[in-house]
Structure 1
Amino acid sequence: GFKKERCYIASQGPVKNTVPDHWKMIWQENIHQIVMVTNLVEGIKTKCEQYWPCGGKQMVHGNLIIRLNAEKERTAYVTREISIEDKKSGKKRNVTQYHFTAWPDHGTPDPLYLVLFHRHVISDSKAGHSGPLLVHCSAGIGRTGTYIALDALLEEGRTTGFLDIFKFLKKMRYSRMNMIQTSNQYVCLHYALLEAFTMKDTKIRKDEFSEVWQSIRTDHKALNHQRLNKEFKELEQHVGETKGLSPSMLNATKDDQNHNQYNAAMSTTNLAKNRNKDVLPMDDKRVYLVSYGKGRSDYINAVQVPSYTKFVGYITTQLPLPDTKVDFWTMIRDHSSSTIVLIINNANEADLVYSQSGNELTIGQFGIKISAREEVENNITKTTIVLSRKDDKPRQVVLFQAICNSIPDPIVLCKLADLISTRATMSNDPITVVSSDGAKNCGLFCAFANAVSSMQIDNHADIFQLVRLLQLRRPEFFTDFEEYKRCYEALHLHLESANVYANF
Structure 2
Amino acid sequence: MEAGRHKCEPYWDDDKPMAVSFFNVAVKETFHLAEYSIRKIQVTQTKSGKLTQKTFDHYHFTSWPDHGVPNVLDLLDFLWKTRDTPRPRPGPVLVHCSAGIGRTGTYIALHILIDEMNATGQLNILQTITKMRHQRKNMIQTKEQYECVFITLLEVVKYGQTSMPTNHYLQAYPTKGGNLTMGRKTIDQLAEDIVSMNSPHNADAQVKNRLWVNGQQDQFVVGAPSQLLKQGYLLAHTPYKTEHLLWKLITETNSLTLITLGAETGLEFIPHPSHICEYGRVTVATVNETRLTRGVTLKTLSVGKTSDSEKKEIANYSVDLWSDETDSSSVIEHLIILMEQMENRQKKLKSHPVTIVFNVSDTKQAISLCIMNNIMSTISVHKGVEIFNNVRRFQDVLPNVEFTEETFRLFCQLAFVYLESTGVYTNM
Same fold (TM over 0.5): yes
Aligned ranges 1:412-451 → 2 under 5 Å: 412-425=334-347, 426-437=349-360, 439-451=363-375
Deviation string, structure 1 residues 127-166 (Cα, Å, up to 9, x no partner):
961x322111011121111112222223233433443333
Alpha-carbon spacing, 1:49–1:361, altered in 2? closer, same or farther (3 Å): same
* Aligned-residue offset at 1:496: 2.6
Identical columns (%):
26
Q: Which residue of 1 aligns with 2:228?
A: 309
CA contact (8 A) 2:265 2:357 kept: no
The answer (yes or no) to whether the contact 2:226–2:374 under 8 Å persists in 1 is yes
For residue 115 of structure 2, the aligned residue among 155, 175, 179 is: 155
5+ residue gaps, structure 1: 1-40, 241-250, 263-280
Query: 1:74 is matched with which residue?
Result: 33
Cα contact 1:444–1:484 (8 A) shared by 2: no
Gap runs ≥5 in structure 2: none
The whole-number CA distance in structure 1 between the counterparts of 2:228 and 2:179 is: 37
Q: Which has the higher contact order (CA 8 A, sep 6+)?
A: 2
- Residue 399 of structure 1, aligned match among 316, 322, 338: 316
CA contact (8 A) 2:201 2:400 kept: no
Deviation per residue, 1:180-213 (Å, 9 max, x gap): 2222222222222222222233323222333333
Query: Aligned pairs, how many?
Result: 411
**Contact (CA 8 Å) 1:439, 1:476: kept in 2 or not?**
no
The aligned residue for residue 125 of structure 2 is 165
Amino acid corresponding to residue 133 of structure 1 in structure 2: V
Deviation at residue 374 of structure 1 after TM alignment: 2.6
1:214 counterpart = 2:174? yes
Taking structure 1 as reference, are residues 220 and 116 closer, same or farther at Cα in structure 2, changes over 3 Å only? closer
Is 1:466 aligned with 2:390? yes
> Aligned in 2, Cα 1:193/1:411: closer, same or farther, shift over 3 Å?
same
The separation in 1 between residues aligned to 2:259 and 2:30, in whole angstroms, is 29
In structure 2, which of residues 410, 420, 427 is the aligned counterpart of residue 496 of structure 1?
Answer: 420
With over 3 angstroms needed to count, the CA separation of the structure-2 counterparts of 1:210 and 1:141, relative to structure 1, is closer
What residue is the counterpart of 1:348 in the other structure? 264
CA shift digits 1:424-472 (9 cap, x unpaired): 1214320112333363222222222222222222222212222223335
* Alignment correspondent of 1:266: none
Amino acid at match of 2:237: Q
Matched, 1:231 2:190: yes
CA shift for structure 1 position 220? 9.2
Mark the CA change 1:232 to 1:474 in structure 2 (over 3 Å): closer, same or farther.
Answer: farther
Pair 1:67–1:472, CA change in 2 (3 A): farther
TM-score, length-normalised on structure 1? 0.72
- What is the CA RMSD across the aligned residues, in angstroms? 3.2
The answer to whether the aligner puts 1:379 opposite 2:295 as a matched pair is yes
Q: Read off the aligned partner of 1:70 and give its amino acid letter.
A: E
Structure 1: distance between partners of 2:63 and 2:193: 25
The alpha carbon displacement at 1:394 in A equals: 6.0
Distance between the aligned counterparts of 2:66 and 2:287, measured in 1? 43
Counterparts in 2 of 1:66 and 1:366: CA distance versus 1, 3 Å: closer
Q: How does 1:122-137 map to 2 (within 5 A)?
A: 122-124=83-85, 126=87, 129=90, 131-137=91-97
* C-alpha spacing 1:116/1:359, structure 2 compared with 1 (3 Å): same
Q: Counterpart of 1:134 in 2: which secondary structure? A: coil
Letter of the structure 1 residue corresponding to residue 371 of structure 2? A
